[in-house]
Structure 1
């Protein structure tokens, strides 16, 4: 197995939505912490919900953290969670954020009405971005493996432990934050289980995604990470973090390669990729030669394909999920076909080929 090049994965490469959210949430929150008189525009009460002229407060209250500690923890958690945008693609991740904003706000307003009927009609709510972050903890718990586990006084700690602690800090910083957290976790579970087809309710149209990509994309798009040219970190903690990141990359690559070797499909995948590049070059020079090369390629691989049949045609949603990450459709089809339509395996394969 070839050792993957050690890269600096700090940054927002392929995560423009998370980068935009950091600015949209962080800058207004900092301003509001120095201008308390403006904070009333970012909280709402029962009277605001029933007043059509103040319904906009439901949205404004989602865009800020009015507590400095919650702001710092929230931005760090959002930075950690940028991995979900890399895996799903910006369009799908944006659709998820939109769904959680609408669904969590609806549930929070329901709780507000319940408090009203219970006699607590003077409550002002400032849910902030907490409920959306808490919904992402469902994905974080189920999809991100534990790595670098250590024992402290017999209690296991991993790289995920700090993220959970920061989430708890937000939850218990204010009494009402626990309600907002429960709303987020509940909606995150519903979305995860796709109850009532909830995942299809909120999907950003492709045309809208392309519009924002062309207008705001250049502003929030980041350059690819560069290989590290400096020695590893000066402190033991930084070195440990870098080694764990490199180990995680090696584990993902080994998992993908093991799957490929087990199914005897990796040589065929590489030959397909090389053929596509060669055929594209030939087609620009001599179309008859390109057609002859295509026929020869199909003949050479007929026996191998019969011995190790590929997976059936992958579902369109999986194809879109990978093409949204920047891969071409032909590469996505090849990767899915040799990994039995496993999106995670196909992603690892495409990233390391």
Structure 2
């Protein structure tokens, strides 16, 4: 299982966010200030520092956290491709702000003015993304290692667990707050899932994060639900019929799984036919069609 087509194709917001996290982490790491970025009760309620607040959103406090964090952010670019850059930008802003609110509430309850209780980094966004990952990304492969059963999603969960426990209490609290933020987004509180930024936001990030000399790709048209209306012709162009499609009718539950991810039913069926009923391959076909 992967996050769809390789690279940051059709995911300019994710690319910009990943680059920002890497640059902030390297910058403060060189200065030896990474471990000073964690927010505490004193920072929030006594001497709020705006630069520290902004830096704490992007900069990880250690190299291992940076590696696991960027890996997860890179994988979760699949959600930007699924709902579009303008809605994904809202998801990012909502996750960061709501998780920060929960973190402030937790600091107010704990009231420890001497310790840095919260590690730095985009924990709110990363762990908010685990909510749609759990509900919307299907398991396509099961396997056993030393008698223990794993799925192809297990590696993402393990990376998340490693990041969640990387600084113990300092990272555990932001991770939990991120999960709460993702849950509220999924519950569509205040109808947040319908909100999206204007189209120029996606264009801005495309130009900002894509340094090629050519014109940045135009975002595909989307329907009212925020999903790309695929056609059979698009799927066939993405997945040429050089390889004979399966003659077996795709299972209804596989079609339903792809539809629940936001894909059109007819396109989902066609992709499954060409992928020989491999739901993971069919998902990649549909994501490739979106990027064209």
Q: Give the TM-score taking structure 2 as reference length.
A: 0.69
By percentage of residues, which structure has more helix? 1
Instruction: Tell me the distance in 2 between the aligned counterparts of 1:14 and 1:169.
Output: 28
Pair 1:14 & 2:1 matched: no
> Match for residue 344 of structure 1?
263
Change in Cα spacing, 1:192 to 1:173, as seen in structure 2 (3 Å) is same
The one of 23, 28, 53 equivalent to 1:58 is: 53
The answer (yes or no) to whether the contact 2:90–2:197 under 8 Å persists in 1 is no
RMSD: 3.1
The answer (yes or no) to whether the contact 1:12–1:18 under 8 Å persists in 2 is yes
Change in Cα spacing, 1:161 to 1:218, as seen in structure 2 (3 Å) is same
Secondary structure of the equivalent of 1:150?
A: strand
1:345 Cα offset (Å): 2.3
Change in Cα spacing, 1:216 to 1:144, as seen in structure 2 (3 Å) is closer
Tell me which structure has the larger Cα radius of gyration: 1
Change in Cα spacing, 1:179 to 1:215, as seen in structure 2 (3 Å) is closer
Change in Cα spacing, 1:147 to 1:29, as seen in structure 2 (3 Å) is same
Task: Give runs of aligned pairs for residues 243-262 of structure 1, distance below 5 A.
Answer: none
> Match for residue 273 of structure 2?
none
> Match for residue 146 of structure 2?
153
Change in Cα spacing, 1:222 to 1:82, as seen in structure 2 (3 Å) is farther
Pair 1:128 & 2:121 matched: yes
The answer (yes or no) to whether the contact 1:146–1:160 under 8 Å persists in 2 is yes
Q: What are the ranges of 5 or more consecutive residues in structure 1 without an aligned counterpart?
A: 1-7, 224-316, 332-338
Instruction: Tell me the distance in 1 between the aligned counterparts of 2:197 and 2:175.
Output: 29
Secondary structure of the equivalent of 1:29?
A: helix
> Match for residue 84 of structure 1?
79
Instruction: Tell me the distance in 1 between the aligned counterparts of 2:211 and 2:155.
Output: 26
Task: Give runs of aligned pairs for residues 297-316 of structure 1, distance below 5 A.
Answer: none
The answer (yes or no) to whether the contact 2:34–2:62 under 8 Å persists in 1 is no
Secondary structure of the equivalent of 2:8?
A: coil
Q: What are the ranges of 5 or more consecutive residues in structure 2 without an aligned counterpart?
A: 213-221, 235-255, 271-285
1:93-115 Cα distance to aligned partner (Å, 9 max, x none): 11100000110001001111111
1:75-132 Cα distance to aligned partner (Å, 9 max, x none): 111111111011100001111000001100010011111111xxx2212233411121
Change in Cα spacing, 1:148 to 1:132, as seen in structure 2 (3 Å) is same
The one of 182, 185, 202 equivalent to 1:188 is: 182
> Match for residue 226 of structure 2?
321
1:273-324 Cα distance to aligned partner (Å, 9 max, x none): xxxxxxxxxxxxxxxxxxxxxxxxxxxxxxxxxxxxxxxxxxxx952613xx
> Match for residue 95 of structure 1?
90
1:327 Cα offset (Å): 7.6
The one of 171, 184, 187 equivalent to 2:164 is: 171
Pair 1:31 & 2:34 matched: no
1:27 Cα offset (Å): 1.7
